[in-house]
Structure 1
């Protein structure tokens, strides 16, 4: 185990985030707690490098904090990779860091119904993602065809992919 410690600036550079977010992430348990060296916070190098490697494997590795009062939640941001039209409605196809494919309504929102995964923020900001037919995609791990608050057809239709007929 390495005994090397990194400054807040070095951690921010390694993780590609702003310096003020480094301490905020440590405060909320996303990063390990810093130790004080010469009156300034420092982070053990090994856990930071491990986190960077994990994020390099993620698709994508960005994240966002959402707050309600003093409570904060951290969500990894996953971008839509394809648009799928179903009954004339756009849906986002996206891949998680484990390679699993999922389909949800085309809408930037927190996705909290992923089987066996943590919640994510699905980003549908990029309108230039390629459109594909459902049949042209590999078998998705999960599909949700609509939400009541979106006003889409088949509102209650939630299906795990193997039971979905293409």
Structure 2
């Protein structure tokens, strides 16, 4: 039986784009225990409040919620335990250098399966100020209003 090339996204961190200016991103493998994989396949995970940290030249994912799989025979340590991310040494060194120099944060953006393996997309992020968030919302609303006006005009209605 042929494996699917890519499954749908399990979880997205929608709040990340609102709270941070996202920069460069990488795809990383994630070390999971057996029941966690089945819970992910059910689509049960949350990236809200998650972040990654470099410890001893390894990248660890903290605060990502993967709930207990209901059919599991044995119980894992915890749903918010830290999990190791798998990247090439050069990538880890580059991320560590940028985090230390620029004071950036590593944020998980999405969690998905690729060729049957769980992957996490992580990005370097810089925190937004409150006025940045308001400005982003105002720009989004203005572009939506412009699209509505063009749509009304094309349909022959007056705005």
- Do they fold alike, i.e. is TM over 0.5? no
Higher relative contact order (CA 8 A, sep 6+): 2
Give the TM-score, by structure 1 length: 0.29
Higher helix share: 2
